[in-house]
Amino acid sequence: MRLKVLIIVVAVLLSPALHAAGADTTTLPPVDSAACMAAIATNDDDRVGSECGVLIDNEKTAKADRIKALIARAAVFTRKDQLDHAIADYDAVLRLDPQADLYNARGELWWKKGDRPRALADFGAAIRLNPDHPAAKGNYKRLAQELERLGALMAVAGKPSFNCATAKRQVEKAICANPDLANLDRQIYAVNVRVLHEAQNPRERQAIQREQDDFIARRNADFGKPGYDLQKVMRNRLQRLLGVDGY
């Protein structure tokens, strides 16, 4: 009986100390977000970085305040061209609250960094969340077109404007064997077509085409002669065409 009473007394005596020890984790005041929110309201980038950074790092920060702070700091990082830091903040906020606007914003940063696949994935995620999101839809379309153009360019890279399988002239075979010359040939052809298309009248088109025909005839006749620089001649022709085109 005495032992039982002793145990009860000890428990009563210890309970205030245990309660006091736990007070640090249970009675902390709520995190004050006023400084961060004021910095956001006044568009003070420096204070957003410092005040909102403190808020973000505090594990006691309310979810809504953390989201606002992360978005604000990501915008600051973006304005300062610190894209990796901005993306990291968007990563954090998207884990808390996936929003179409945020996926689109992160996608634009991936696009700016040159990571087109990730950018396209983010624009697609934004559209799935909000099929009518105008910015995400526009970005997705433009990026898809850019990828299509890049794919087309890669498909013809190192290939001239003519079919190498049927090339008979030595100059044509030399162009086919050299990717730089092949790319130059294709560029000359493409710019010449565009210049012809944009010519103001039939007489101007005839003059442009006659100049192109003369260039090819001289190229074919002069190739292989001592001192003949095919690449230089082709570069000069391309520059001439670009000059005609107003560049």
pLDDT number for residue 43: 85
pLDDT for 63: 92
Looking at residue 172, what is its pLDDT? 94
Q: Which residue has the tokens 């032992």?
A: 3
Residues sharing a CB contact under 8 Å with residue 124, sequence separation 6 or more, in sequence order = 140
DSSP 166: G
For 164, the token pair is 């190498």
Distance between CA atoms of residues 15 and 3, nearest Å: 19
49-84 confidence digits (pLDDT tens): 888 888 889 889 999 999 999 999 999 999 999 999
Indicate the domain borders of the chain.
33-97, 100-156, 164-244
Tell me the pTM: 0.54
- CATH annotation of 100-156: 1.25.40.10
The letter for the amino acid at 223 is F
| Per-residue pLDDT at 201 | 85
Look up tokens 């003949």; give the residue.
228
Amino acid occupying residue 121: A
Q: Which of 82, 74, 62 is nearest to 99 (CA)?
A: 74
CB-based contacts of 11: which residues, under 8 Å, 6+ apart? none
To 5 degrees, how large is the angle CA 91–CA 94–CA 98? Answer: 155
Q: Of 237, 191, 230, which is closest to residue 211 (Cα–Cα)?
A: 237
**Which residues does the chain have with pLDDT short of 50?**
1-27, 244-247
pLDDT of residue 151: 64
Helix 116-129 × helix 100-113 angle, to 10°: 170
